[in-house]
Structures are given as structure tokens and as C-alpha cells.
Structure 1
């Protein structure tokens, strides 16, 4: 029987998902973070799932994108990114500096479009895989590994959101010093089996974060360690930290802002530099690679426009001898499944991928994806291999509907001002 792969309907469901009080250089995570769930429905009734950022600026682009997608086929993926070019972007929605929500570097209209297109591409691949009875990794050329390794994502953290703020509770406790970070890492290792650790830095003066990494190295000898201050340091501070941690760091992620500054640091240290801030589009690759500014690109299919673009990025990195791994945002299981499928198809994936997923206590799936020995098994079921829990989706959507708009756009600085009224986003470099 011939399947009708024409898109007959697109469902967009913005949701608010519980988020712990995790600290970064911009502030603290809000008690709830916005995500957007995309469902692509074909004429024969097959539904594919996608997920991306849920802030207003993404939702405003997703709506006209959805209208344009109806009537197209889910296997017409090469035209999907071209479709995104037809969607106008409100210039007031485009930042000219670090994006507070994603800490992803300079934001442009094209980057917004790609982040929306990525969810549609994943949803189309999920639907196509279901229609053909094939897993998404097979549609990408086939897996080269049966499991994908992930790294524990460590954060400085408050014990709870500020008093009086409506929030879900968690039992992780505070982590505000080296002992707290090590305790957090031990739990990640015991519960999920992670064997590498990444610390989100840029929160405290560099000496304190150096001490935390040293404590991790002592507690977990031989385990790969990473430190990511999201561009909070000057070139000289970056070099000082790199020098003090050169014997224990797998890589230093975005210690300073911009390709020129990263190139200066890279030229003066042997510690590899990774990025998800200065290389997030193909146009940013030539300068960064020719100047030797980065040695590892942390891909993110939300940034790059989907899974096929992620594979293309990996091929370019291999050509230039640059390592590749994966960046993570506050994603749910749909995105983790997509990350795992595409990561399974990249031959030269030599670094464990990042994942926020263990921090997310809520999901929209009938069954959470599981980490075993720090790895996620690659599903061989049709499509992404996940199933939507509609009751849960409805609950999280009703939370979004009930919000007065304060949480529909992630703003870590605004969340910090609840606890510290005078807080302002630090001028970079912060140290």
C-alpha cells in the first residue's frame, strides 16, 4: 500500500517545564522553562514529533512555518530550510549580544529560523520513519554505534528557588562550593553511571572554579573534565585558568567571547578549546577554523537546523581535523532521542555529549529515556522510537496558558533579580 506522506496538519504546543535553580554567569534558571512541541501529521494519519525552544520569538516563527508546511511531504526535507527563509523575523526579537536564554552567542534572524526548522525536520523524520518502519538513524545513513555516551552536566545550584516563588521541589540540594560540586558529581555517577563531568562555570571568581575542578580531579582520577564559563573571562584570565588546569581538562569551553579572543587563547595554550557560542552556523566556520580558534565544536541540532545539517557539520569538522561533540539545552526526551539518533551516525564522535536531561524532572513522553553507564541506547524502533503522553502534554500546556507571560520567555537575569533585586547581567568579560 502506498502511504500518503503529505502533511495535512501541524500541531504546535507551547509548554512550561519545571527547571531547578541552576546558576550561570547570566543569572539563574527560572522555575519553569518554555519548550515547543511540534507534531506533524500526514494524510494517512502518521504523527511525527519534534521539539525546540518555546520562547515567544520561536513560537511566532513556528506558526507561519507550520502554515507553509501543510501540503508538503515529510520526505521533502531538502526544501524545509528553504521554507524557513520565507518566514519573516521581527527585528526587535533579535539580540545583538549574548542570548540570555541559551547562552549561545550572537543571535541572528537566520539562527532563529534554523532553531524552528530543526523541530519540523525532526518531526518529519519521525513521521517518515514510522511510515517506512525504519528508525531515524537508518534514514540518516545508519548507526555506527549502539549506544551514545553522555557527560554529567554539573551546575552551581541553590537548594531551592527563592521563597515565595511557585516552583517544583527537588532533592539535589545546594552546590555552591567544591564539596557541593563533588557530591553532585558522585550522585550523577551513582545514578546514571556518567564517567565524564562538565561544570558550568562563570558563576564565581575563577579561583573558586579552579578549586572545584581540582576537587573533581581528585575525587574522580582519570575521568575527563570540562569547564564552561560561557565567555565570562578575559583572554588573560582564560590563559591563567588553562595553565592551572592543563593537566586535568579534556577541554575548556568558551572561556572568552568571540572568535578573535578564542584564537588568541588557543595560540597560547595547549588545552583544547571547545565552543557552542562562536561557531553555531556554517558561516562562522571559516574564520574559526582557519585561525585555529576552536579544537572541538559542540553541535546542537536546534542551532544548526536539524539532523542532516548536524551530519554535514561533523563532516566539515573531520575535514579540518576539528573534534565534534554535542551541546545541550534544557531539552526533553524528544530532543534527547533526536540527539542520540544523529550522534549514533557520526563516525568520529570522540567526546561524550552534553545533556541537561537528568535535571528535567518532567517530560512529555510515556517513558523517559534511560542512561545506563552514562550512555543512551540507540532505538531501532520506527522513527525516533518515543511516544507522546498526551495527558502530560496537556498538563504542561495548561501551565503555559495559566502563566501571565512572565515565564514564557526564558530570562535568567530576571529570575536572579527575584533573589537579588539589584542584579544586572554582568559586563563581559566578567573576570
Structure 2
């Protein structure tokens, strides 16, 4: 099955004003849709980030992959590496072609200004490559959507779902969490959206009830790092009281000092399933982990294989949040899961603003990963029905997505929806995600410096 054509389509879809440590989401979220077509007429789908420089690399690499067999993933990886200028033999995450990223959150959804503190030696870092704020290589980010699309094709050809290509599913449905955000009622100058404001404890509880009623979620994650720590303590306690017995998590995006993280962690004893990225770096996380009662989770300080040994030596984390978009696709993510198993780490899954192709890929990966035992993150509710995949293949039942059993990813492209979202991309004027600059339009004094408290 030889690759004859690859279509790369940028899309934009409406995004609510979700607050985070880097600022606030802009009115439009960007993604890139990849469609690989073979000489036998089979096609496969992939999805990745939408920032303009990442899009340019995806387009450049698409041309380099024409003529390859869809099974030739090693050669495909080598061609992506050669095209973007990074040697394949370089340590994962230590080299690559780095691009300038926005001053707010990066394409991977982590605060750019927090990035300087990430990595295995955050306390002594004096410089960082721009564009890979969690140190993953450009190669892995660019390779991922092509790999997913080829696995989609291979599943279709074999008549089996992608989860079977990853070793077979160990669960028939993948649980996801209600992903809560502090948010404005609507973007400034626009009518309030249906989710409403969530700027205090009552608003957060209302939001949780809305998402749980609609999707049946059985665990809750709150994006913190927005308000002073005591206010976020109050929000978690309000959720704990409103939803007794429901597992809770708090994600700080490294907004707190070690001292603040320890204080808050101790005050929240008995309320949190885990505390995610409270402070920057492996060393800081290790200090916090030794002093708080709950495990720490990350998708910021351990983001490449070479980070595992120092993180394990420092006992920095108990939970790793997997993300195939920057770990290099589904197969490489399975390798990461094996490393977590070897080191005795639990696993969840990270999410950024995404569409249904990514949700399908995430679901297949989670279904085929035995040690991914925590409910996964997803932004799907915030997309409010907007998608590029035909409806019906993906649905939430009691907070979980049943694993598609149709061949491949089990989703089909809605070409009319794709055309609409591509037109929205052309017209929206946004070409890279920049939560910080958007926030500063309304609050010029805002800073995304980490740690803040």
C-alpha cells in the first residue's frame, strides 16, 4: 500500500474563553487535518496542532512521504527527520528544528514562559530551545499525524480497529474526566456562551454539574494556576462537597513555588486523586512529592525518555500523562507506556483543544494500554459539537467513550464540515495560539511568569 497523495488542511473552530496560567483561549482554536491516500484507494486520517510554522513543516514533510509504503514507519520517521533537519540518531527531545512559539501557550498547550523551567535540570537551565517548550522534538510532533493516518489505513486493510494493531484492547470503553476551567461568560464583545461564567466556586460547581449531566463523567479535573492558591483550594473543597466520592484532580501548569505547592498539597489532603504539575522542573517536583500526601502527575517535566532516570531518582512523579501528539504517535506512545510500567508509574492522558480524529486515536491508544488506569483528559465538551468527523462513531456513555470496533480509527471525514472549518481558518485571522497576548488585550498587567505564587 503505497502513499500516493497526502492532503493537509488547516482548520479553525470556535473556542470558549477558557482561563489558564498562560492567559485565556482566543475565540478560534487551530488544528491541522492530515489525509493519507494509497494506490489501493484506502485513506487514513491524522490530526495535529495548527500553528502556522508547525503547519508549514507538516506540509513540507507530506511531500517527502509520497511513494512510501504505509507499513514503513521507520523510513517515514527518517524522512520527517531529514526534512525538518534533525538527525534521527539524536536523543529524543534534545535536538530538532525549533521554532518560535507564541508568548502564551505553545502548540502543545503548555505555557511558553513556564517552559524555561521544564526538563530534567530546570533549576540550573540557562537557555532553552524555542518552540519545544516541553522538550519533545519537532520530528515527533510532525511525524505523529502521518503515523496515525497510516495505522488507520492498515487497520482498514486488515479489517481490524487500530487498538488491535497496538496489541488489542484491554477495555471496551475509555473513561474521560470532566475538564473544568475558570472562564469568562463569553469572549469580550460577544454574547455569553451556553457554558456561562465560572469565576468563583459556585461557577465551577455549576460547570461541573453541566458537564456531568451531559456526559456522565465520573471524575473531575480543574485547570488551576489562574487564581491565588487559597481561592483554588476553596474551589476544590466546593467540588469535593458537591460531588462526594468523585475523584478530583488539580492541574497548575507549574504556577506555584515549591513552598506554596507543599502548603496547598497538605491542605488538600483527602480531596485529590493527584496534583498535576504544581511547580516547575523535576527537582522542584521531587521536593513537593516528598512532602505532600497525594501523588504528583506531569506532562511538563517528563516529556522525553531521558527525563525518566532523573525523575525516578528524585521520585518526582507518580503519574505520567501520555500524549501521542508529541510523543511521536501511537506506537511510540506504547513504548512510553512500557517505560512507565518498568518504573512503576501510573498513567493518564493529556488533552489540548482537539477534534474527533484525535479523540478516536486517544481512545484506541488508551484502550490498548493496560497500565493507563486513570481517566483521560479531553476538551471535547468545549468544542460543543463542532467536528470534522461524521457523527455517530464517537459518543460518551457514563463518562466513557466506547472503543470503535470498525476497521481503522473507526471514524470518517465529514467533508462538508472540513470545508467549513477550513474557510473559518482562512477568515479568522489567527495563525498561532497566543493565550498571553490575548489576555493582555483586556488586562495589560497580566504576566505568565512561572512560578507566580
TM-score after normalising by structure 1: 0.94
| Structure 2 counterparts to residues 1-16 of structure 1, below 5 A | 5-16=1-12
Q: Does 1:149 align with 2:145?
A: no
Which of these residues, 386, 389, 402, is aligned with residue 365 of structure 1?
Answer: 389
**Per-residue CA distance 1:341-387 (angstroms, 9 max, x = gap):** 01001112221000011111211011162111000000110100001
Contact kept in structure 1, 2:103 and 2:434, CA below 8 Å: no
Which structure 2 segments of 5+ residues have no match?
86-95, 119-130
Counterpart secondary structure, 2:48: strand
1:208 shift after superposition: 0.3
Aligned partners of 1:170, 1:80: CA distance in 2, in Å? Answer: 43
Q: What do the CA deviations read for 1:149-171 (whole angstroms, capped 9, x no partner)? A: 1111000010000116xxx9630
| Alignment correspondent of 1:45 | 41
Structure 1, residues 280-336: CA drift from partner, whole Å, max 9, x if none? 122222211221111100000001011111111111111111111100000100000
- Does structure 1 conserve the Cα–Cα contact (< 8 Å) formed by 2:136 and 2:303? no
The residue correspondences of 1:3-402 to structure 2 (distance < 5 A) are: 5-88=1-84, 93-94=99-100, 99-101=105-107, 102-103=109-110, 105=115, 107-108=131-132, 110-163=136-189, 170-361=193-384, 362-367=386-391, 369-402=394-427
Report the 3-state secondary structure (helix = DSSP H, G, I; strand = E; otherwise coil) of the residue aligned with 2:334: helix
Please give the alpha-carbon distance, in whole angstroms, between the structure 2 residues aligned to 1:100 and 1:311: 24
Tell me, yes or no, if the aligned pair for 2:68 and 2:76 is still in contact at 8 Å.
no
Partner Cα distance (1:241, 1:110) in 2: 30
Structure 1 residues 281 and 96: alpha-carbon distance in aligned structure 2, compared to 1, 3 A threshold = farther
Secondary structure of 2:83's partner?
coil
SS of 2:8 mapped into structure 1: strand
For the structure 1 residues 88 and 348, does the alpha-carbon distance in structure 2 shift closer, same or farther, using more than 3 Å as the test? closer
Query: Contact 1:16–1:408 at 8 Å: present in 2 too?
Result: no
Return structure 1 stretches of 4+ with deviation > 3 angstroms: 89-92, 94-101, 104-110
Asked if 1:426 corresponds to 2:432, the answer is no
Any idea what the Cα deviations from partners look like across 1:123-172, whole Å, max 9, x if unmatched?
111111112211101111111110001111000010000116xxx96301
Distance of 1:20 and 1:95 partners within structure 2 = 22
User: 1:92, CA displacement in angstroms?
Assistant: 6.5
Distance 1:110 1:192 in 2: 32
1:81, 1:305 within 8 Å by CA — same for their partners in 2? Answer: no
Query: Helix, strand or coil: the match of 2:370?
Result: coil
- Whether the aligned pair in 1 keeps the contact of 2:249 and 2:276 (CA below 8 Å) is yes
Change (3 A) 1:110 1:265: closer
Matched residues, number: 421
- Distance across 2 between alignment mates of 1:313 and 1:294: 15
Question: For residues 247 and 315 of structure 1, what CA distance do their matches in structure 2 show?
Answer: 30
Report the equivalent of 2:127: none
- Equivalent residues of 1:160, 1:170 under 8 A apart: yes
Identify the range of structure 1 (98-107 vs 117-126) with the bigger mean alpha-carbon deviation: 98-107
Distance in 2 (alpha carbons) for counterparts of 1:91 and 1:116: 11
SS at match of 2:312: helix
Any conservation in 2 of the 1:33–1:408 contact (CA below 8 Å)? no
| Contact 1:26 1:100 (C-alpha < 8 Å) held by counterparts | no
Give the direction of change, closer, same or farther, for the CA distance of 1:364–1:95 in structure 2 (3 Å limit): closer
CA deviation after TM superposition for structure 1 residue 82, in Å: 2.4
- Secondary structure at the counterpart of residue 87 of structure 1: helix
Query: TM-score, with normalisation over the residues of structure 2?
Result: 0.89
Report the equivalent of 2:90. none
Question: Which sections of structure 1, spanning at least 5 residues, go unmatched?
Answer: none
Per-residue deviation at 1:424? 3.9
Report how far residue 44 of structure 1 moved: 1.1
When the two chains are superposed, the root-mean-square deviation of aligned CA atoms in Å is: 1.8
Please say if residues 103 and 437 of structure 2, whose CA atoms lie closer than 8 Å, have aligned partners that are also in contact.
no
How far 1:91 moved relative to its partner? 5.7
| TM-fit CA distance, 1:270 | 2.5
CA contact (8 A) 2:105 2:433 kept: no
